[in-house]
A and B are shown apart, each in its own frame.
Chain A
Amino acid sequence: MTALLDATGITKRFDGTGVVLDDVDVAVEEGEILAVLGPNGAGKTIMMSILAGSEPPSDGAVSLDGRPIQSSSIDVSFLLQNTMAIDTLTGRENITFYSRLHPQFTARWEEYAEAFEIVDDLDTPVGEYSGGMRRKLELVIALSIDATIYFLDEPTAALDMAMVQKLHSIIRSLRSDGATFVVSSHLPSDIEVADRLLFLRDGQITSTGDTETLLAELPSVVRIPEVALSEALRSNLVDGRTFDDGEQVRGFVSPDSTVEAIAEASCDGGAGAVSSIETVDPTLTDLFNYYSQSRRP
């Protein structure tokens, strides 16, 4: 099957910061929802900008339906975090402005303004909006474009969970009409909406696949009391890393170790907390932490 979006050998170099994307290949099928996940600074925004045709790559090429992406902008809608809304204009004036810029802008904006509960604020200057309100307005604008493919950069940042679920519902609805999505995020909650996940770290892809497959490939997850942590114990964890989980921490059992070895290391450390170390079912947060922060490219 031919990919709708095809990016090969994408590299981006900047004079000051060096290589921020290193030989990345991405293919997105028609009607697919791809989540690009990674910690802050992983290169997600620059990758989204290149895929959407906003930023030229230093090397590599991006095509949409066989044509260069930069000549396909009529089929693209791109939400780039905190760039679209204009402070001195009201929400309504912002919508009017963008509605005239894109010939595929639709009357869906009214439905979305209601869904995101910003109708009553449309006549207020955007400079008075909160971060979440700005994001909702930008989503209304980006989603109202009748595009073949949507690139949404951190669309759920600053949104509460109810709004995140509404956004996911809108994305699924547009996908059922044939739209394709590439959604970047550093929040595990966005995994729920995706058909496929792509993890980015230090400008390189660490893993890609559907949620079930990636969860199945996840090493065992252990929950450890914070007091039991020691260098010896950490050496049994992937990358020696742990992640906060209330008064405990979670970690991934290293391939050359076992839960028993970890418990033993805990005893050696003198913490006496063997009975508290347990294997737990992996969550989406574990999935995010492992592929975006523990696993090396």
Chain B
Amino acid sequence: MRSSDNITQEIMSVNTDTTGDRRRIRQVHSFFTRHLLEITRNRTALFWSFGFPTLFYLMTITVFIDLDQVPSAVEPAVMGIVAIGYGVFGAVIVCLNAFGQQLADDIEQRRYSAFRALPLSPSADFIGRSCASILMAAIAFCFVLVVSVLTGASYSLSSLSALPIVVGAFLLSSLIWIVLALFIAVIATNGQYVNIISLSIALISYFGTGFNGTAPSSFAGDLSLLNYLPNSLATRVLSYHMVEIDPEPADGAPWEAAGMVPPEMPVGPDYLGLLALYAVVFLTAGLLAMRYSMYKRGAWE
């Protein structure tokens, strides 16, 4: 990875500056790099986040969905929506499984006992790990999309302003799963348990919410819930802004033709606001858990 000289040069050049912000940035960088290296070496997590969603996407468009029944004008869009659903599933796996497993490993190995004696910022720890997870989640998401394009899916941003919405929705939903993973790790404190629990949650949330809200007809509950549950809401927001549906008049309204409506598509700012609210609540809970539970800071200080 790095030569001895490089490590030493970095130490010599930056460790003379011990101001709080600079120190925190280096700590974020440290956790980010470490977490990224560990994810890329975790074959199980890579399979579940890259291999499984891609395989299931390919099986879905070849076996599970009869594309002959889909109006040809919306077929590329439908394939895109299916791919977004699986892509989000892959991202959820990275956030839940990879993040949670590594954290549980640190807890199990009593590494936080060593961390607590370092001048470490709990938020730097959390942000560094989270950024690495979100980056890998984005790569896993894009991987499925690239495969889908090769099989005929098409994407089109609804407008230029849709780009920050797509990025924001993805970030917010990833954050929710990361914080959930943090709580699972804190409670389970064992990598194997975290693995089982997180995969179970990812699978249940995916299949239990009509493929992350991309196939409402297979959702058994009140359909409007799909616009409120975090995973299906994020996926439907992403679908709306990343896929353009332009059916023949005879095929009916666009999103009905793609099988996404009802319920209505979550297009208003209130849905984005809800997603942001989820993220703020989860982020606050995550930072507090990191500070009080992992670093035992607070009243004791």
- Chain A residues touching B, majority SS: mixed
Residue among A74, A84, A99 making CB contact with B119, cutoff 8 Å: A74
B27 touches A54 (CB 8 A): no
Q: Which one of B113, B117, B301 has the greatest number of beta carbons of chain A within 10 Å? A: B117
B residues less than 8 Å from A80 (CB atoms): 110, 113-114, 117
Evaluate contact between B117 and A53: CB separation under 8 angstroms.
Answer: yes
CB of A103 within 8 A of CB of B38, answer: no
A99 touches B11 (CB 8 A): yes
The segment out of B28-36, B65-73, B178-186, B266-274 that lies at the interface is: B28-36
Q: Is B118 an interface residue (CB 8 A)?
A: yes
* CA A51 to CA B154, docked complex, whole Å: 61
- Shortest beta-carbon distance from A153 to chain B in Å: 10
Q: Say whether, besides A71-B301, A95-B7, A103-B18, A90 and B120 are in contact (CB < 8 Å).
A: no
Q: Determine if B30 and A73 form an interchain contact, defined as CB atoms under 8 angstroms apart.
A: no
Cα A274 to Cα B29 in complex, Å, equals 71
Contacts of B17 in A (CB 8 A): 103
Q: A80-B113, A84-B114 are in contact. Are A100 and B30 (CB under 8 A)?
A: yes
Task: Return the contact of A78 from the options B10, B30, B114 (Cβ within 8 A).
Answer: B114
Residues on B with C-beta less than 8 A from A151 are 117
For residue B4, which residue of chain A has the nearest CB? A110
In the complex, whether A9 has a CB less than 8 A from a CB of chain B is no
The count of residues in chain A whose C-beta lies closer than 8 Å to any C-beta of chain B is 42
Among candidates B11, B29, B296, residue contacting A106 with C-beta atoms closer than 8 Å: B11
Q: With the chains together, A53 CA to B114 CA distance in Å? A: 10
Closest approach, in angstroms, between the C-beta of A128 and any C-beta of chain B? Answer: 13
Kindly supply a per-residue 1/0 record for chain B positions 87-117, scoring 1 wherever the CB is within 8 Å of any chain A CB and 0 otherwise.
0000000000000000000000111011111
Q: How far is the CB of A47 from chain B (nearest CB, A)?
A: 13
Within 8 Å CB of B7, what residues of A? 92, 95-96, 99, 109
Q: Does B63 contact A (CB under 8 A)?
A: no
Q: List residues of A (195-219) whose CB comes within 8 Å of B's CBs.
A: none
* Cβ B41 vs Cβ A88 within 8 A: yes
- Nearest neighbor of A45 in chain B, beta-carbon distance: B113
A212 to B116, CA, bound (A): 36
Q: A101–B27 contact, CB under 8 A?
A: yes
Which one of B12, B30, B109 lies within 8 Å of A97 (CB-CB)?
B30
Please tell me if the beta carbons of A53 and B38 are within 8 angstroms of each other in the complex: no
Residue B15 at the chain A interface, CB threshold 8 Å: yes
CB–CB A54/B37 < 8 A: no
Interface residue A49 (Cβ < 8 Å from any Cβ of B)? yes
A172 close to B (CB within 8 Å): no
Does A76 sit within 8 A of B, measured CB to CB?
A: yes
Shortest CB-to-CB span from A288 to chain B, Å, is 26
Query: Do A73 and B117 touch (CB < 8 A)?
Result: yes
Interface status of B23 (Cβ within 8 A of chain A): yes
Q: Please indicate which of the listed interface residues A49, A106, A107 has the most CB atoms of chain B within 10 Å of its own CB.
A: A107
* B1: Cβ under 8 A from any A Cβ: yes
Complexed CA–CA distance, A104 and B1 (Å) = 23
B300 touches A70 (CB 8 A): yes
Question: Are A107 and B30 in contact, with the CB atoms below 8 A?
Answer: no
Residue of A nearest to B22 (CB): A103
Contact A107 B12 (CB under 8 A): yes
Question: B38's closest neighbor in chain A, by CB?
Answer: A88
By a CB distance below 8 angstroms, the chain B residues around A290 are none
**Bound CA–CA A109/B41 (angstroms):** 26
Within 8 A of A (CB), among B1-22: 1-2, 4, 7-8, 10-12, 15, 17-18
Cβ-neighbour of B8 out of A79, A90, A107 (below 8 A):
A107
Give the chain B neighbours of A241 by CB distance below 8 A. Answer: none
Once the chains are docked, how many angstroms separate the CA of A92 from the CA of B117? 22
B1–A92 CB distance below 8 A: yes
Contacts of A296 in B (CB 8 A): none
Q: Compute how far the CA of A267 lies from the CA of B1 in the bound complex, rounded to whole angstroms.
A: 71
Question: Is A181 part of the binding interface, using a Cβ–Cβ cutoff of 8 Å?
Answer: no
Whether the pair A110, B1 counts as a contact (CB closer than 8 A) is no
- What distance in Å separates the Cβ of A287 from its nearest Cβ neighbour in chain B? 30
Known: A74-B119, A100-B10. 9 other contacts (CB 8 A): A54-B117, A78-B114, A80-B114, A86-B111, A93-B37, A96-B7, A103-B17, A104-B18, A123-B1
Interface residues of A (CB under 8 A from B): 49, 52-56, 68, 70-71, 73-74, 76, 78-80, 82-84, 86, 88-90, 92-93, 95-107, 109-110, 122-123, 151
B: residues with CB less than 8 A from A are: 1-2, 4, 7-8, 10-12, 15, 17-18, 23, 26-27, 29-30, 33-34, 37-38, 41-42, 109-111, 113-120, 296-297, 300-301
User: Could you write out 27 A-B pairs with CB less than 8 Å apart?
Assistant: A49-B113, A49-B117, A54-B116, A55-B113, A56-B300, A68-B301, A73-B117, A74-B18, A74-B119, A78-B117, A80-B110, A80-B113, A83-B109, A86-B111, A88-B38, A89-B37, A89-B38, A92-B7, A97-B30, A98-B30, A99-B7, A100-B26, A100-B30, A102-B118, A104-B18, A105-B15, A110-B8
The 4 closest A-B pairs by CB, nearest first: A100-B30, A78-B117, A103-B18, A54-B117
